[in-house]
Chains A and B, each alone.
Chain A
């Protein structure tokens, strides 16, 4: 083949251009730390990367939901603890008051304490979690329980708020006030107080125990709910690590290789430049006098 001056210059130009293109590309990859910059760099990799990014974002939301739910469960747990210890105290008082040798004055003093316990229980049951009523069901903005002279009213409903904590996994955040059966608990204490005030020997242990059993059951349910949330949290951390790792592998640059490639390319570029610089200038003219 006859080689002309134009062939030589364009061939050298093309080679240099190709090398420059590849060097620029590698530099972009190293600079951004990403192997996939446009979809066309690896279409299926780009899809994977998008899918993993989405999974990481929904994981963020699930983690927020878990934290939020844990707050609700912990508030409910501590409220239940306080109610249970108040009821336990009531139970103690019921046992004390059942002592026939106790003078009326002492019984009345006990009755006074029972009354205090009742208002404590009521106050705790009306506690708020942040701005929301803890035991109002869906009615988070009302004071759920009202107790006036033995008349008990619940203003909430049986609404159970659910939270999304995983792929199709839901957990209940609250216990609606109606499940607490506070009417029974308060009625037991009310009866106890009335018996004591009247100087009777109260026999209200069964009533109190019934209410307590229910509350303790609810507390242990909350406990297991808390453990479920802990597990969900751990799993979500595992998933995050897993997804981050996958995402890095899909779209990340292998630096060692990229740097090696880049130095090889630089070398090739230098060689091409040097060879080009040597072969292009001379022609027969340089040897004619």
Chain B
């Protein structure tokens, strides 16, 4: 009887000690991201049957036993968090890149394509005032070159942006493969630990954290196998099944269509099909690299080639100071943004400011220069059907109306502005939802120091009390062993 009290006291000591250990683990991890608080699950120990003096058997408690250490986690909240996290990854990445796009376009500003275009047309108007002046002619050529230099710089900026997005894609894919590998390895260790009954709470936290990151990167969805191992799928393709990983492979390809850059295609290593991301950072990166950014580049190309065509058409009809006629002002190539001032115009006399006709014009004849200046109001640019045969038509820019070159440039900036504005708004909204989902999740899994301190006091008291029980049992036994039966000694 007394021995059993001693033993019951010991179970109390053990349980309190174990609870204090788990509590200190929680406190230590109060700021660890992805940590779920843990708690010792206790149960009264299996009772024994005792036969009392009445002869009837009676169940007698044998103290407390520890069932397991349990972690607080709600899978439903995890799902919500990961869905929001995938959205937030998509929107904030879109926002960052679109902000770069609109900053590249660089309007509204006093130094940009807008003002260069105005200066170019104004130079023609000024040339009409002084058509015999070589410097007025050189001015026109310089303005045209200045405009093209800025446009080409901008275009190259877009090319660089695509390349840097591509590099980011490569880096992030490496990260995804790495995380997938981690998940597969954790799947194995967790299964083994579970079958040994080890309760791998912290390993499961690690796996959940890797899944959080995968959701943010890829917009992946998650499932469970019968044995509790995790399946990760991206757009119907399985990235991880249990301990198997279907890696994403990189394949650098030279584009055959404009803008003819070297871009990385992503393939599943198992069957070699292309990888599509339903969301997440990668979803945004791929979409922007393959649609929005090249579309902007195509619009720029169309705008500058249309401008060059329109100027050429009028310029060919005019005459230079030396009577030359039929000369193009711009030379236009087939590559995107391959537009340059005709090198023949290095002789400024060949700039056709004078009216149509034959022979050497009077040096005060600026009739064609006036016509060229008037092209600033020539609304002849319309939407492009598609940049590349077989691809989807781009976002409508100017709709059914025809616009001037400046109008086209304004519309292009307007479009970039609207796209960015939408991305910013969506990103803000989704960021709030993400915070909310995270708070809900934290409310279940997060460590609250107040809670832990309360538990600390509780278990400390329990420990003290159990120790006291042992002391009492000890005293009782001492009484039995040393003081009982002194008679006859």
Residue ranges of A at the interface with B (Cβ–Cβ < 8 Å): 1-7, 10-11, 14, 36, 38-44, 46-47, 49-51, 53-54, 57-58, 60-62, 64-65, 68, 132, 136-141, 156-157, 159, 161-164, 167-168, 170, 173-174, 251, 283-285, 288
Contacts and interface: CB of A to CB of B under 8 A. Distances in A.
B414 interface: yes
A47 B414 contact: yes
Interface string B454-469: 1001000000000000
A61 B125 CA distance: 7
Contacts of A41: 417, 421
Interface string B250-267: 000000000000000000
A39 B363 contact: no
Contacts of A285: 449, 453
Nearest to B448: A4
Contacts of A58: 118, 121-122, 376
Contacts of A157: 362
A42 B413 CA distance: 11
B449 A283 contact: yes
Given A38-B99, A157-B362, A46 B377 contact: no
Nearest to B452: A284
A139 B363 contact: yes
Given A163-B128, A164-B374, A167-B377, A4 B443 contact: yes
A65 B414 contact: no
Contact of B30 (A1, A5, A139): A5
Interface in B430-456: 435, 438-440, 442-444, 446-451, 453-454
Interface in B42-82: none
Contacts of A5: 30-31, 446-449
A14 B435 contact: yes
A229 B353 CA distance: 24
Nearest to B407: A51
Contact of A170 (B370, B411, B424, B447): B370
A38 B417 contact: yes
Interface of B: 30-31, 98-99, 102-103, 105, 107-108, 110, 114-115, 117-119, 121-122, 125-126, 128-129, 132, 354, 361-367, 370, 373-374, 376-377, 406, 409-411, 413-418, 420-421, 424, 435, 438-440, 442-444, 446-451, 453-454, 457
Contacts of B450: 283-284
A173 B131 CA distance: 13
Contact of A140 (B31, B364, B420, B451): B364
Contact of A132 (B132, B354, B451): B132
Contact of B453 (A64, A141, A284): A284
Nearest to B447: A4
A174 B442 CA distance: 83
Contact of A139 (B117, B119, B364, B453): B364
B95 to A, nearest CB: 9
Contacts of A167: 377
Give me the 8 closest cross-chain CB pairs, A-B, nearest first. A138-B362, A39-B417, A43-B417, A4-B446, A40-B420, A140-B364, A284-B453, A57-B118
A151 B443 CA distance: 109
9 contacts: A2-B448, A7-B446, A43-B414, A43-B418, A46-B417, A47-B413, A50-B413, A53-B110, A161-B366
Nearest to A14: B435
A257 B444 CA distance: 44
A251 B109 CA distance: 11
B108 A251 contact: yes
Contacts of A137: 362, 364
Contacts of A62: 125
Contacts of B128: 161-164
| Most-contacted residue by chain A among B102, B129, B450 (CB, 10 A) | B129
A43 B110 contact: no
Nearest to A285: B453
B57 to A, nearest CB: 45
Nearest to B423: A40
Contacts of B453: 283-285, 288
Contact of B414 (A44, A139, A163, A164): A44
Contacts of A44: 414
Contact of B362 (A136, A251, A284): A136
A39 B364 contact: no
A143 B366 CA distance: 19
A53 B115 contact: yes
A51 B410 contact: yes
B370 A164 contact: yes
A2 B444 contact: yes
B447 A6 contact: yes
Given A4-B446, A53-B115, A39 B108 contact: yes
Nearest to B121: A58
